[in-house]
Structure 1
Amino acid sequence: MSDALPRLLVDPPWERDARAYREATRAAAKAVALVPGLEPPADRSLVWADGEREEWLKLCDRPSYLSDKEKTILESEGWPGLVRAYKDGTVTYTPNQTFMFKQGPEELVRPLLADWRTVPKGGWGPKGDDLKALLARFELGARHIVFPHAKADRARGARALLPVLDLETAVLMAHWLSQGSGRRIADEWLARHGAGAVPFLVPDALGKARVPRDKARAALARIASRHGVPAVADAARRYGDRAAEAVEGFLTEDGPQAAPKPPAKPPKVAWLDRDGLPEVRLRDGRALPPEAIENLIGALTFTTLPWNGDLRTLPGLDEVLDRCDRASLSAFGLAVFESWIAARTPSRSGWVLDQLCLLADDAAARRLGALLLKWPGSGTDKHAVQVLRAIGTDTALAWLDRIARRASAPGRRQTAEQCLAMAARARGLSADELADRLVPDVGLDAAGTLVLDYGPRRFTVGFDEELRPFVTDEAGGHRTTLPKPGARDDADLAPAAYRRFAELKKDVRALAGDQIRRLERAMTSGRRWTAGEFERYFVEHPLLRHIARRLVWTTGGTAFRIAEDRTFADAADAPVTLPDGARVGIAHPLGLGDAVAAWAELFADYEIVQPFPQLGRHVDEFTAAERDTGRLARFEGATVPTGAVLGLLRKGWERGPAEDGGVCHRVVRRFPGDAPDLVAELAPGIAVTAVDVFPEQTLREVRFTAPPRGALDPVTASEVLADLAGLG
């Protein structure tokens, strides 16, 4: 059978590479091109991407932790007083020092920067966004802080080194390129700096020490793969023609001094039970033999998905995928993923997620999406979100939208939002427009029904206004559920139809919750649709029209509802026609004014239960004192459940940084434009790793970072006040 299989499954490239490597090593051992003693440049510079520095500068303005002592100094003596306290040794806590350097007047803090020292390992030095903010504000003046901290905490700080171009950073990136966890950031750094990084790498690449030589050569080869060998050789010519020729030699496969490349071998996958995997079949129905399956697993281990990059696969894998049965491949890929989850996501096996980009069907996308709502692994959840984006089907993107709104981890929600934005841009849409298009019809026809076939009998499934399913038999009789298959029913059709009904109920229940929350956000954000979009995505949609009929809509100052016959009527039940160019939105009670009472009476008469509070929604406004001072004293001192505070995270609030003991002492609500942030200080605080340690929180202080005055529109102001009022 081997002659009928793709070559990759019979003679995999890592075995061919191993043979070639042994031969090349023998030849290269006789001639290793070295030019020892080269002195690397001492230059240092920053290379910013478009708009990058401006974005990082915004991080300086984020709220930071200050102890009561520093707050008192700042409030009473201003920035000069805080700087004096720093010079006197009073301000010793590094996060407080970081805050001072991020937000203090530059003429006061820049002279102190050169002598500022922090502890990169085991200390409380700046991390992540703080490093970006410092580099953007002080540029190379902050390099002595940024580099050691980014090196010591690669997971959170590595991206701060992307603009930095100097010897230490180049050597570090060459080292990271050889390590799985650092390869992505090193690859991005080399792509950014290209030929500019070459002079810093050539001395090691042509030096006598083998380990740094191999790493530097691998980095130069990565640059050459993007910019070409001539560009790298020209950049190396600053060291002379001999050095340039040596560089060109080891980068050119047929060069007289070519250095052999160690073969890439697939990792051992000891945790995977091969006997428990489903068969993979060729298109003609024949199953792959065990040795071919082993080679398929090996080929899949080379699959990688870089952030913002294209999926990378082993050459020859496309032929395998083309010649194998798609359904069996999907089942195989899902089984590998399930085994990985059952084995508790072993380390150095991220390829299991990446192979789903190739093999996953909608069933695998649903399984991955459901897991991501409460991901069991550690450190891989954000990459798993990116895999959903790469799968790219409507089902995968619909789950991505659900994760962006409902995932338990804020970082995971943020990653999902970024991935949705990327997917939307690829389709020429906004994230909200994409979400409109991803609402599935779950197989319902235009009438909102689905026929399920038991063989000798058939049933029609529909949904009422509250999306509860109902069943109608062929005689017109109504049921609340589908009957279990009987002895006279078709042995294949009936069980499949019964399972389909159970899946349908589950899908609609989850979909209803997601869409209700989405529409509530659309109301509070003031989103609008064209008349055509409104008709397509709400009035005609077999499921969403049930939710849409229970809301009051508005266009151009005219409020209306959707009647049972899908026409539009106002509060007096008079017909409403959407004018040309209409922009339709969900009416907020503040926009309805005195008409709220009439609409509430009408909905009560028709016994319409709204999917979320609209007509009975709590509305509020800032007092004059709150607008002028920015302090919401009416909420201060209240004791509220910790769970209620965490619930704010699903309404656009963010958790502040973890401080001593891993406890978060604030939640923050940010607003677009120039509006100030709203900060709620908590006591005793939320323990990040065990949120139930402190079951209650006291709102110690609730204030804007600056007086809001007219910075917030009335709806946003009312919603924020309702968020806080609802904590109790």
Structure 2
Amino acid sequence: MRFVLPVSWHRSFYPRRGGAPLAVEPSGDAMPPLGDAARAAAELAAGVTDAAEVRRVLAPVRTALAGAPERAYAEAADALRQVRTGSWAHRLAAAFLAPDLAGPDFAEVPERHPLAPLLLASASTVEQAQGVLARLAPTQAEQLREPELLHTLAEGIGDGVLDLYARYWTGRSVEYTLAGVPDYLAAMIEALPAIGTGRAFETLLGLAGQRGVPAAIMAAADRFPDLVVPLLRANASRPRVAELLSRHLARHTGTAVVATGAVPRLPQWVEPATLPPIRVAAAPVVQRLMRGEIPPEAGDLARFGWELCCRWEEAGAPPAGRWALEAQALVGDDETAAGLAEAVRRWAGEGAGQRVAAGIDVLRRLGGDAALRQLHDLATTAKSRAVRARAEAGLAGVAAGLGLTADALADRLVPRFGLAPGATVVLGDGPHRITAGFDDQLRPWVTDEHGTRRRDRPGSPFAAIRQGVRKVTAEQVHRLELAMTAGRRWSAAEFRVLLEHPLLFPLARRLVWITGPPGAPGVAVRVAEDRTLAGVADERADLAAGDVLGVAHPADLDVPAWMAVFADYGILQPFPQLHRPVYRLEPGESAAARLRPVAVVRLLALERHGWRRAAVEGARVLGMERDLPGGDVVAVGLDPGIALGPRPDRQPEQRLCDIRIRTPEGRARPLAELDAASVSQLLADLAPGQETSL
């Protein structure tokens, strides 16, 4: 059996040693004594009777063990063997942390033991998992519905999840359960695409007509093409399978192939005679064009493909014709990307979720700066939270493939509008020739062929550039302010991207920067006119290859000294940095003492500034959270909670309660340990009367 861990499962999955590769493996150099950590975790868990809560407590330690160096793991395993000599609770907690220790437990675990469900996450055969299931009470077996167990069992027992979950839901055959239990079908559609076995994929093929299954088949085809393509060909006579094979081959080879070898009947909405022409310079045209031997005239193929897509939409977007949309990833250009992004926004308003998801995926696969800029625009400005989240995920995937962070990719995607490094551009010829550009404040200016300043004419070539720069400047000012409040750091190489950009450089010049990670002592610097760095006394500062720096928060600065420097140079800041209020907690004071009830409208406005909804139960949001420097998360509870239906301005004020800091490992952290900048921003966001400029 093969298994490929989907990216979306990384936070709902219990890894095991020797299993699917971890997204981030712990470093052997920085690892704590795992033996002590594992022993303490098992001892702590043994005193809890809720198996789901025990899994939550032990999950970070299990992840650390799965990626630990051999020596560290061996020491931890020895410690856990000693723990297993205690009660059954100790034994089961240790087996969850190190599944290779669980061998005898599957046959010996007492029936209905409170922690018996832990063994499901350690099973490596369907017989082991079914043996555990037979010993569980009905209420305990309900834990199989949790995504974490489903995902972990998909890796551990492969397509055996078909049998295990059929036994749980009906006690009858897989076929009977697939036909009669929608929840079982939904669980299998999610799990099977990650499992590289013929049975898993043939089960999906047998359900190709069911809602959601075609997308699962395409996901499996992307992960296991050597297994899936032959099975698709062998089953091409089944409903929709031939279409899925064509889509898969078109996506990965650039050529649409009909599985049966027959010429397909074109939909009525195509009307080939009225499509834009594709001009080429040689014949036979079609075969050589499809093989890439002769390029079409610039733009022809893109216009042809986009017209097909528009006609498909006008015909009601029939599912069988979605190839017209997916073909844009192969033939599209910059104009296609702009049109497709507009269509995604329109489809989101119409509730066409599948079309929205496909359109965003096409933008991601189309690639190129224009398509990725449109994807970034969707991720930051789309009205729908679901569209923003999907676009963010697409950008994150592209960034990871390039070895960049999402923020670093966003820096590289800021358009230049044809401007030279000094933010100037020459337009026109002869007596109509003008030189235009932007000053240090990014205000536009125009000179004629004699160098005389004049007003720009409406509708001139520079008017479109001026409008685009105004929009981009507002976006980048907002991003830089968010970077300050979130503690973002640039490497030396990433910072050079800002210095070499005609629009980002003037913004970077008007801010104070600071070296080092958030909360650590650093050196405050500014960007000088010659794109070098200078300190508060105008001394030159240099960045070494391994240094990082970020937009300085005033809590970390000698504000009066820097105000004097900026006043001397006449520098106006793009947002309040040096004039930003700084809030601090007095010794022994709690953040809760500063908090007062807050209007729902203000709380929801924080979503644009790094906060997100959390703890959604039913139709009510019971908390909000945001990321902190270093990977920590701050979460705050809301009482009575934000109802998802009524208008925000008609809901009662929310009482802020239970402020918690959570580390990436799930450990609680006191607010007093936060750096001064994070505390100041937290109070500014949440305490009435302490608004930020965001």
TM-score for the superposition, normalised by structure 2: 0.64
Give the counterpart of 1:517 among 455, 478, 492.
478
1:409 aligns with 2:384: yes
1:56 aligns with 2:12: yes
* Preserved contact between residue 305 and residue 332 of structure 2 (Cα < 8 Å): yes
1:586 aligns with 2:567: no
- Distance (Å, rounded) in 2 between the aligned partners of 1:130 and 1:408: 34
* Preserved contact between residue 472 and residue 478 of structure 1 (Cα < 8 Å): yes
Seen in structure 2, the aligned counterparts of structure 1 residues 674 and 396 have a Cα distance that, compared at 3 Å, is closer
Q: Which stretch has the larger CA shift, 501-510 or 664-673?
A: 664-673
- Distance (Å, rounded) in 1 between the aligned partners of 2:502 and 2:442: 11
- Distance (Å, rounded) in 1 between the aligned partners of 2:678 and 2:394: 26
1:82-128: per-residue Cα shift (whole Å, max 9, x none)?
A: 989xxxxxxxxxxxx988997899862646955139999xxxx9686
* Preserved contact between residue 665 and residue 681 of structure 1 (Cα < 8 Å): yes
Seen in structure 2, the aligned counterparts of structure 1 residues 376 and 364 have a Cα distance that, compared at 3 Å, is farther
Seen in structure 2, the aligned counterparts of structure 1 residues 659 and 446 have a Cα distance that, compared at 3 Å, is closer
Q: Which residue of 1 aligns with 2:456?
A: 481
Identity across matched positions, percent = 29
Q: Which residue of 1 aligns with 2:99?
A: none
**1:678 to partner: Cα distance:** 0.9
Matches within 5 A, 1:30-109: 49=5, 55-57=11-13, 108=114
1:664 aligns with 2:621: yes
Q: Which residue of 2 aligns with 1:701?
A: 657
Partner-residue secondary structure (3-state), 2:542:
coil
Give the counterpart of 1:646 among 593, 604, 608.
604
1:443 aligns with 2:392: no
Partner-residue secondary structure (3-state), 1:602:
helix
Ranked by relative contact order (alpha carbons within 8 Å, sequence separation 6 or more), the top structure is 1
* Preserved contact between residue 49 and residue 114 of structure 2 (Cα < 8 Å): yes
Give the unaligned 5+ runs of structure 1.
1-44, 60-77, 85-96, 206-211, 227-259, 297-314, 485-497
* Preserved contact between residue 336 and residue 352 of structure 1 (Cα < 8 Å): yes
1:383 aligns with 2:358: yes
Partner-residue secondary structure (3-state), 2:299:
helix
- Tell me which amino acid in the other structure corresponds to 2:682: V
- Tell me which amino acid in the other structure corresponds to 1:552: V
1:396 aligns with 2:371: yes
1:118-162: per-residue Cα shift (whole Å, max 9, x none)?
A: 999xxxx96867854897899967773698799548778732344
* Superposition RMSD in Å: 5.2
Partner-residue secondary structure (3-state), 1:366:
helix
Seen in structure 2, the aligned counterparts of structure 1 residues 549 and 182 have a Cα distance that, compared at 3 Å, is same
Q: Which residue of 1 aligns with 2:613?
A: 655
- Distance (Å, rounded) in 2 between the aligned partners of 1:264 and 1:694: 60
- Tell me which amino acid in the other structure corresponds to 2:512: V
* Preserved contact between residue 624 and residue 637 of structure 2 (Cα < 8 Å): yes
- Distance (Å, rounded) in 1 between the aligned partners of 2:543 and 2:228: 60
**1:551 to partner: Cα distance:** 0.7
* Preserved contact between residue 555 and residue 585 of structure 1 (Cα < 8 Å): yes
TM-score for the superposition, normalised by structure 1: 0.61
- Tell me which amino acid in the other structure corresponds to 1:703: I
Q: Which residue of 2 aligns with 1:268?
A: 267
- Tell me which amino acid in the other structure corresponds to 1:561: R
- Distance (Å, rounded) in 1 between the aligned partners of 2:628 and 2:330: 39
- Distance (Å, rounded) in 1 between the aligned partners of 2:674 and 2:169: 38
Q: Which residue of 2 aligns with 1:613?
A: 576
- Distance (Å, rounded) in 2 between the aligned partners of 1:447 and 1:261: 58
* Preserved contact between residue 456 and residue 463 of structure 2 (Cα < 8 Å): no
Matches within 5 A, 1:26-425: 49=5, 55-57=11-13, 108=114, 110=116, 114-116=137-139, 132=151, 144=168, 151-152=182-183, 158-162=189-193, 172-177=203-208, 181-189=212-220, 265=264, 268=267, 270=269, 279-284=276-281, 318-319=290-291, 322=294, 324-339=296-311, 347-370=319-342, 372=344, 375-377=348-350, 378-379=352-353, 380-425=355-400
Give the unaligned 5+ runs of structure 2.
16-43, 59-88, 94-112, 118-134, 171-176, 250-258, 517-521
- Distance (Å, rounded) in 2 between the aligned partners of 1:482 and 1:268: 48
Seen in structure 2, the aligned counterparts of structure 1 residues 455 and 190 have a Cα distance that, compared at 3 Å, is closer
* Preserved contact between residue 525 and residue 534 of structure 2 (Cα < 8 Å): yes
- Tell me which amino acid in the other structure corresponds to 1:108: P
Partner-residue secondary structure (3-state), 1:508:
helix
1:506-563: per-residue Cα shift (whole Å, max 9, x none)?
A: 32123223322332343344444455653x4233322211111111123473323234
- Tell me which amino acid in the other structure corresponds to 1:640: A
Matches within 5 A, 1:432-581: 432-453=407-428, 456-483=431-458, 498=460, 500-531=461-492, 533-534=494-495, 536-555=496-515, 557-566=522-531, 568-572=533-537, 574-578=538-542, 580-581=544-545
Seen in structure 2, the aligned counterparts of structure 1 residues 708 and 119 have a Cα distance that, compared at 3 Å, is closer
- Tell me which amino acid in the other structure corresponds to 1:539: L
* Preserved contact between residue 480 and residue 551 of structure 2 (Cα < 8 Å): no
- Tell me which amino acid in the other structure corresponds to 2:278: R
Seen in structure 2, the aligned counterparts of structure 1 residues 603 and 658 have a Cα distance that, compared at 3 Å, is same
* Preserved contact between residue 555 and residue 582 of structure 2 (Cα < 8 Å): no
Seen in structure 2, the aligned counterparts of structure 1 residues 118 and 166 have a Cα distance that, compared at 3 Å, is farther
1:461-507: per-residue Cα shift (whole Å, max 9, x none)?
A: 111233232211123332343355xxxxxxxxxxxxx2x32331232
Q: Larger C-alpha radius of gyration, 1 or 2?
A: 1
- Distance (Å, rounded) in 2 between the aligned partners of 1:602 and 1:446: 25
Seen in structure 2, the aligned counterparts of structure 1 residues 649 and 344 have a Cα distance that, compared at 3 Å, is farther
**1:389 to partner: Cα distance:** 1.8
- Tell me which amino acid in the other structure corresponds to 1:408: K
Seen in structure 2, the aligned counterparts of structure 1 residues 666 and 605 have a Cα distance that, compared at 3 Å, is same
- Distance (Å, rounded) in 2 between the aligned partners of 1:266 and 1:691: 50
* Preserved contact between residue 198 and residue 227 of structure 2 (Cα < 8 Å): no
Q: Which residue of 1 aligns with 2:640?
A: 683
- Distance (Å, rounded) in 2 between the aligned partners of 1:150 and 1:410: 31
> Number of paired residues?
552
**1:216 to partner: Cα distance:** 12
- Distance (Å, rounded) in 2 between the aligned partners of 1:128 and 1:554: 43
1:349-379: per-residue Cα shift (whole Å, max 9, x none)?
A: 4323312112221122233335556744521
Partner-residue secondary structure (3-state), 1:639:
coil
- Tell me which amino acid in the other structure corresponds to 1:173: L
- Tell me which amino acid in the other structure corresponds to 2:525: F
- Distance (Å, rounded) in 2 between the aligned partners of 1:569 and 1:195: 57
Seen in structure 2, the aligned counterparts of structure 1 residues 558 and 712 have a Cα distance that, compared at 3 Å, is closer
Partner-residue secondary structure (3-state), 1:467:
coil
- Distance (Å, rounded) in 2 between the aligned partners of 1:347 and 1:354: 12
* Preserved contact between residue 127 and residue 150 of structure 1 (Cα < 8 Å): no
Partner-residue secondary structure (3-state), 1:553:
strand
**1:682 to partner: Cα distance:** 4.8
Q: Which residue of 2 aligns with 1:71?
A: none
Seen in structure 2, the aligned counterparts of structure 1 residues 645 and 136 have a Cα distance that, compared at 3 Å, is farther
- Distance (Å, rounded) in 2 between the aligned partners of 1:58 and 1:681: 30
Seen in structure 2, the aligned counterparts of structure 1 residues 103 and 190 have a Cα distance that, compared at 3 Å, is farther
* Preserved contact between residue 665 and residue 686 of structure 1 (Cα < 8 Å): no
- Distance (Å, rounded) in 1 between the aligned partners of 2:295 and 2:650: 58
